[in-house]
């Protein structure tokens, strides 16, 4: 018995009917109008404006943590340096024999530029890279002033000109300072205090203590910022001003509180204080 299977012929008309229905379906779909597009763009812009401050704050928080980590590495480098130099910290020549006649606000300078090995202060940690593996550790990620690493990159290679970092070193004078002789609350290094632009985080700063802890100093009232000069050409706001800021950082108080009856200029800290009553009066005037 033979079974024959016959294929049904394809109906072209059916195909045309199907394609017609698909075309009608595509034409029936709703589309975005110009108004819809503009509304969507407006909504996206509003969301970005709401989220941007949060993102900026998160970025600054991350930079603040990185800055604190760098200060921690600087503290370890200072410890290793002291171990190799009979317990003494790196010295700075910038205060000279008479600290009152010099400018301690220049103690962000790490290389004076006269000779290849003319290092000073924190710069001694980078001589032959014995203690800090890379000079990047001396530059705060939040710095927006005139002393970024990019500005001095060539100088770090040639070592033939002045180099300024982003952290402010405190140890100065011709008397050697032993790390173990200092009270643990004494601030050794802070964020830049040379000018307002060097005050890296604007609302406070990381500080390295003599006990090698790194703490955040809140300056939400802007008192420290108000005491700093606006430009490099105006550097040297007065030695008493610098001492007042250091005392405030040591004790975790505001500069105006550091000038209180129980907080006179400290004579036991690192460099000689100013007894000039006019200087003290000018500092107090900054908070009126």
pLDDT tens sequence across 25-49: 555 556 667 777 888 888 888 888 7
- pLDDT tens for each residue of 78-94: 999 999 999 999 988 77
Q: Left if phi > 0, otherwise alpha if psi is -120 to 50, otherwise beta: which for 86? A: left
Percent of the chain scoring above 70 in pLDDT:
70
Q: What is the CA radius of gyration of the chain?
A: 32
Structural domains of the chain, count: 1
Residue with the larger pLDDT of the pair 94 and 190: 190
Q: Is residue 149 part of a domain?
A: yes
Task: State the Cα–Cα distance between residues 264 and 274, nearest whole angstrom.
Answer: 10
- Has residue 5 been placed in a domain? no
Asked whether residue 247 carries a pLDDT value surpassing 70, the answer given is: yes
Query: What is the Cα 277 distance to its own chain's centre?
Result: 33
> Could you give the percent of the chain with pLDDT greater than 90?
38
Whether residue 156 lies inside any domain: the answer is yes
Model's pTM, two decimal places? 0.71
In a domain, 243, yes or no: yes
pLDDT digits (tens, 9 = 90+) for 110-163: 998 877 778 888 999 987 667 998 899 999 999 988 999 999 999 998 888 899
Residue 42 lies inside a defined structural domain of this protein: no
Instruction: Tell me which of 40 and 2 has the higher pLDDT.
Output: 40
Q: Report yes or no on 204 lying in a domain.
A: yes
Of 114, 92, 226, which Cα lies nearest the Cα of 160? 114
The answer to whether residue 70 scores a pLDDT higher than 80 is yes
Tokens 């009917």 map to which residue? 17
Residue 204: Cβ within 10 Å count: 18
Give a yes or no: residue 205 inside a domain. Answer: yes
Structural domain includes residue 173: yes
Q: What is the 3-state secondary structure (H, E, C) of the chain?
A: CCCCCCCCCCCHHHHHHHHHHHHHHHHHCCCCCHHHHHHHHHHHHHHHHHHHHHHHHHHHHHHHHHHHHHHHHHHHHHHHHHHHCCCECCCCCCCCCCHHHCCHHHCCEEECCCCCCCECHHHHHCHHHCCCCCHHHHCCCCCCCCCCHHHHHHHHHHCCCCEECCEEECCCCCCCCEHHHCCCCCEEEEECCCCHHHCCCCCEEEEEECCCCEEEEECCCCHHHHHCCCCHHHCCCCHHHHHHHHHHHHHCCCHHHHCCCCCCCCCCCCCCCCCCHHHHHHHHHCCC
Domain that includes residue 231, residue range:
54-285
Average pLDDT, the chain: 77
Specify the higher pLDDT residue, 76 or 51.
Answer: 76
Find residue 168's DSSP bridge partners.
190
What pLDDT sits at residue 59? 84
């Amino acid at each position: 018995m033979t079974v024959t299977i016959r294929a049904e012929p394809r109906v072209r008309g059916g195909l045309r009917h199907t394609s017609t229905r698909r075309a009608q379906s595509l034409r029936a779909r709703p589309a975005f109008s110009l108004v819809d597009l503009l509304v969507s763009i407006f909504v996206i812009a509003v969301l970005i404006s709401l989220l941007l401050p949060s993102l900026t704050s998160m970025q600054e928080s991350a930079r603040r943590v990185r800055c604190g980590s760098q200060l921690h590495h600087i503290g370890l480098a200072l410890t290793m340096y002291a171990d190799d130099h009979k317990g003494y910290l790196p010295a700075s020549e910038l205060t000279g024999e008479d600290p009152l006649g010099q400018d301690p606000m220049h103690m962000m300078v790490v290389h004076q530029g006269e000779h290849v090995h003319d290092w000073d202060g924190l710069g001694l940690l980078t001589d032959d890279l014995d203690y800090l593996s890379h000079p990047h550790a001396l530059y705060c990620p939040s710095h927006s002033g005139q002393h970024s690493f990019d500005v001095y990159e060539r100088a770090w290679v040639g070592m033939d000109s002045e180099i300024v970092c982003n952290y402010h070193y405190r140890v100065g004078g011709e008397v050697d300072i032993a790390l173990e002789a200092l009270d643990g609350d004494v601030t050794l290094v802070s964020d830049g205090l040379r000018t307002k632009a060097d005050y890296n985080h604007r609302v406070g700063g990381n500080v390295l203590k003599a006990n090698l802890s790194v703490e955040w100093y809140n300056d939400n009232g802007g008192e420290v910022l108000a005491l700093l000069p606006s430009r490099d050409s105006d550097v040297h706001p007065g030695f008493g001003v610098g001492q007042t800021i250091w005392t405030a950082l040591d004790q975790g108080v505001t500069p105006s509180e550091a000038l209180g009856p129980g907080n006179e200029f400290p004579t036991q800290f690192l460099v000689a204080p100013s007894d000039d009553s006019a200087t003290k009066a000018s500092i107090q005037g900054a908070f009126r």
